[in-house]
Amino acid sequence: MSFMKKNLAAAAVLCALGAVSMVAGAQTIRIANQGDALSLDPHSLNESLQLSVTANVYETLVGRNKDLSLAPLLATSWKQTSPNVWRFELRKGVVFHDGTPFTADDVVFSFARAQGDGSDMRATLSDIKAVRKVGDLAVEIETNGPFPILPDVISLTMIMSKKWCEENQATKPVDRRKGIENTASFKANGTGPFRVRERQPNVRTVFTRNGTYWGKIDGNAQEVIFTPIANPATRVAALVSGEVDVMEPVPVQDIARINAAPNARVITGPEMRTIFLGMDQKRDELQYSNIKGKNPFKDKRVRQAFYQAIDIVASRRPSCAAPRAPPACWSAPASTAGRPSRTSACPMTSKPPRSC
């Protein structure tokens, strides 16, 4: 099921009866989350829930396998043709939900849109100098300098139909948080495995299976009903009562209760996000402090004292309000799939390095 695959949550819960009924031939799955996507525009907001929802409707050139390693999506292959230039061969026979063929023009347009005014994805593409069409199904991406992680970086840049955006006055993304909307805010036309059938912001969004999808769609769901339920207790009650089949996130204090229910179980695992404390070691005087004339964080002993004051063992206990697993590196090991040299250097451990 695409929604479950895309959602990189710390704790998701799957209703066992719902799972069994899906295998037996049920066609609808009901999902509840604490929030809703603010917009259906894939370039309007760089936020996890937003991207998880829109990624079922829109697709990127480069995607990810279930182990999070890079995989071909709308691009079938890519290679560096010079230190600053990458060539991407595009997938043949792909059409948008309205039947428009997918071509290199859509890629050039989408990158320009994602780099333009109103886009919240601009920062992720700051190293890209130009995107050029070199054939109906081929593009070149030129970077400002050697940029070996380009395929990884563009795995969040979703491709829109140039024709559809022009016809619907949606050539530029807008920020719904500021009360601005356009057609792309509440309608969608992607190449992904699901289409948007109904959109009621903060009430429910209904997705239907894309019968013309170019690839294989995991699972047999024909319809997905996504409902935001902000209150944790209400969300849990909806799951236990069978009102929804999947909910996320799961309140830690309710894990035992859900597992005790006859029709539900909790699936837990580490999420991708790494939270860290950053210490200002640059300024000569620490801002927002009652200590004047100096910056204590320039003293390694002060930084070590902060590190040693953290009870790492306690943070790993299941009873902790937000259990966590210290990765001892900048990014979680799961995010380095396909890059063993980085993964092996960052083992999951309860003893982070003492260098500060």
pLDDT band of residue 349 (cuts 50, 70, 90) is very low
pLDDT at 347 over 50: no
Which of residues 355 and 148 earns the better pLDDT score? 148
> Average pLDDT over the chain, rounded to whole?
85
Which of residues 27 and 176 earns the better pLDDT score? 27
Look at residue 53 and tell me if it is in a domain.
Answer: no
Read off the CATH number of the domain in which 69 is found.
3.90.76.10
pLDDT at 106 (0 to 100): 98
- Domains: count for the chain: 3
pLDDT at 352 (0 to 100): 40
pLDDT at 176 (0 to 100): 74
Backbone dihedral region of 9: left (phi > 0), alpha (psi from -120 to 50 degrees) or beta?
beta
pLDDT at 326 over 80: no
pLDDT in tens, 233-246: 999 999 999 999 99
pLDDT in tens, 182-206: 999 999 999 999 999 999 999 999 9
Look at residue 184 and tell me if it is in a domain.
Answer: no
Residues 6+ apart with CB under 8 A from 179: none
CA distance 285 to 272: 34
| Residues of the domain holding 279 | 271-356
Percentage, residues of the chain above pLDDT 90: 67
Domain boundary (230, 249, 268) is at 268
| 338 and 316 inside one domain | yes
pLDDT at 312 (0 to 100): 77
pLDDT band of residue 180 (cuts 50, 70, 90) is confident
pLDDT at 16 over 80: no
pLDDT at 164 over 60: yes
Look at residue 92 and tell me if it is in a domain.
Answer: yes
Look at residue 39 and tell me if it is in a domain.
Answer: no
Look at residue 93 and tell me if it is in a domain.
Answer: yes
Look at residue 188 and tell me if it is in a domain.
Answer: no
Look at residue 328 and tell me if it is in a domain.
Answer: yes
pLDDT at 335 (0 to 100): 58
pLDDT in tens, 246-284: 999 999 889 999 999 998 999 887 777 777 888 999 999
pLDDT at 5 (0 to 100): 34
pLDDT at 350 over 60: no
Question: Residues 108-137: what's their mean pLDDT?
Answer: 96
| 254 and 277 inside one domain | no
Pairing assessment for the beta strands 158-159 and 128-135 based on DSSP bridges: unpaired
pLDDT at 221 (0 to 100): 93
Look at residue 176 and tell me if it is in a domain.
Answer: no
pLDDT band of residue 51 (cuts 50, 70, 90) is very high
pLDDT in tens, 72-102: 999 999 999 999 999 999 999 999 999 999 9
| 128 and 103 inside one domain | yes
| 217 and 245 inside one domain | yes
pLDDT at 355 (0 to 100): 35
pLDDT at 353 (0 to 100): 37
CA distance 25 to 263: 18
